[in-house]
Amino acid sequence: MPPPGVRRAVRARGAALALLPAALLLSGCGAGAVQVPVPTPDTATARLCAGLRLPEKVRGQQRRDTDPESPLTAAWGSPAIALRCGVPRPAGLRPDSQLMTINGVDWFGVPADRPVTFTAVARQAYVEVTVPAKYAPPGDVLIELGSAITATIPEKPEGQI
């Protein structure tokens, strides 16, 4: 958990979502549970996300507990690679956004110049993955998680992101 001064700065800026990767990195550096904000999807999306069969290891890193515990979140390693299923559509996602396609999954990265957070788009549930710099290149993580996404989360009709 970040020190009290950092929490106040986040509240003051009102940019909690923009700072999510930093918060995950700060909370993911110990041996305890990783603090991962739980998304609040609709019932159908939550059902899809609950079906994700995620690996016990990603990039050789063991799966860790998340706090709060939820079937919509997962984490691996330290600093933590974090996954959230059922997140809202990314605010910056546009029809002309630059996407990276890896093994049939389209990923939208933020920030655009050096992505840290990637969201699987064009699926019936958005799946967000935060990849700390330690695990560069991030594509390796996305490859490992992509098979669970393609096996569980159906694609949207062509042309929808």
pLDDT in tens, 33-87: 999 999 999 999 999 999 999 999 999 999 999 999 999 999 999 999 999 999 9
Cα 98 to chain centroid, rounded: 18
Share of the chain above pLDDT 90, in %: 76
DSSP state of 39: P
Q: What is the pLDDT of residue 31?
A: 67
Q: How far apart are CA 34 and CA 144, in angstroms?
A: 20
Q: What is the mean pLDDT of residues 150-155?
A: 97
pTM for this predicted structure: 0.81
19, 26 contact by CB (below 8 A): no
Strand partners, 105: 102
Contacts of residue 6, Cβ cutoff 8 Å, sequence gap at least 6? 26
Q: What sign does the CA torsion over 44, 124, 132, 97 have?
A: negative
Contacts of residue 86, Cβ cutoff 8 Å, sequence gap at least 6? 39, 40, 41, 45, 46, 48, 49, 72, 125, 126, 127
